[in-house]
Amino acid sequence: MNPFSYTRATDVTNAVSEASRSAAAKFIAGGTNLIDLMKENVARPERLIDITHLPLKRIEDTDDGGLRLGALVTNAETAYNPQVEKRYPLLSRAILSGASPQLRNMATNGGNLLQRTRCIYFYDTATHCNKRMRGTGCSAIEGFNRMHAVLGASDQCIAVHPSDMCVALAALEAVVLVTGKNGDRSIPIADFHRLPGDTPDMDTNLGGDEIILSIDLPPKGFADHHAYVKVRDRASYAFALVSVAAALEMSGDIIKEARVALGGVAHKPWRNTEAEALLTGKAATKDNFQIVAETILHDAEGFEHNTFKIELSKRVIVRALNHAARMETRP
Ligand SMILES: Cc1cc2nc3c(=O)[nH]c(=O)nc-3n(C[C@H](O)[C@H](O)[C@H](O)COP(=O)(O)OP(=O)(O)OC[C@H]3O[C@@H](n4cnc5c(N)ncnc54)[C@H](O)[C@@H]3O)c2cc1C
Ligand code: SF4
């Protein structure tokens, strides 16, 4: 047994002040990831700060024409919100492709961003893992690495970020609003998660005392041309081998803007804006999509069990872009 204290935060200021009291404090929201990590002895917080009663449960319009998603709105409420369905269907589809209905009813938006990798060695405390404890080694590099990264990995960690929601947020260029003892800040989603480098224990750039308040979606929702394609080992209730969020702005058959975010391939949702720009002003053809896919995967490196992900990623990118362009048979 690992003893811990439990506090229910009364307001956001109280939550931040409670978190500032110990480096081993953790907020708990839906608990769908943190409780599992505690049961497996992977997370050992000394203080649990229950934030479920904080007023962060609204979805509302922003002044610039976008939409603000409260950190404590559940994944289910977000996916089925009429404004999200109408203006940001890409996000709705990505969320609904993840987990199960029961989990989505508990899981919150803030918790989804901060869920930890599903690397089997990370959960197995009998093995070496630099993410669990920096400097101990990575069991996955020479181990069973079928689910692991092919882009942006380091010699310290080859884990992937497991979220579906975050892949759509990357394509939509969402902004995460947080607050902590040093005040409020806005973090573009591209800068929220980190690559592993020499510090694979740090998943994000969020401070230990900082709480996520909301996620802002910019006005552009790509409702007319989008697709979320997730390839996984079984049809439901499985994490992505590869997923792609594709969003296009089209003028007739010509692409004005393209965004392509990948999940399941890196330590964070993966984008390559230079590759995306290759589609600007081009026709929505399979050949043009293939060029972008080849460019995005150009520097990919596989390990013993996951090299297949490189070709798979290319095919999923082409398929997602094709679906986004035509908005025909749903993937
Ligand atoms: C069996 C299973 C299958 C799943 N399949 C998928 C899937 O296919 N796709 C997918 O995307 N996800 C999947 N999930 C993950 C699920 O989406 C996450 O567990 C969930 O989103 C986490 O949200 P939560 O509110 O329960 O977080 P919690 O477990 O409460 O917290 C997770 C982390 O976030 C921190 N935290 C929570 N809220 C805040 C906040 N507002 N500010 C600061 N820190 C905060 C906590 O301190 C903790 O570190 C699956 C989970 C399970 C158990
Ligand atoms: S890939 Fe990362 S999470 Fe998995 S064992 Fe290696 S260091 Fe740990």
Q: Is the CB of 29 under 6 A from ligand 1?
A: yes
Whether 330 shows a pLDDT value over 60: the answer reads no
Ligand nearest to the CA of 234: 1
Average pLDDT across the chain, whole number: 97
CA distance 260 to 167: 9
Atom 17, ligand 1: residue with shortest CA distance = 112
Mean pLDDT along residues 109-129 = 98
Q: Which of 75, 112, 118, 193 to mutate to test the pocket of ligand 1 (most atoms within 8 A of CB)?
A: 112
| Mean per-residue pLDDT, 308-318 | 98
Ligand 1 pocket, residue 292 CB under 6 Å: no
**pLDDT number for residue 41:** 96
Q: How far is the CA of 272 from the centre of ligand 1 (A)?
A: 26
Query: Residue 1: what pLDDT?
Result: 80
Residue 238 CA, closest ligand 1 atom number = 8
The residue-averaged pLDDT of 299-303 equals 98
Residue 72 confidence (pLDDT) above 60: yes
Mean pLDDT of the region 28-35? 98
Residue 203: name the closest of 140, 272, 117, 122 by CA. 117
Mean per-residue pLDDT, 197-223:
98
Q: Name the pLDDT band for 207 (thresholds 50, 70, 90).
A: very high
Q: What atom in ligand 1 is closest to the CA of residue 232?
A: 8
* Distance between CA atoms of residues 143 and 41, nearest Å: 22
Ligand nearest to the CA of 168: 1
Q: Is the pLDDT of residue 84 over 90?
A: yes
Average pLDDT over residues 209-214: 97
Strands (E), the chain: 5-8, 25-28, 47-50, 59-61, 67-70, 175-180, 183-188, 211-217, 226-231, 242-251, 254-263, 270-271
Mean of the pLDDT values across residues 150-164?
98
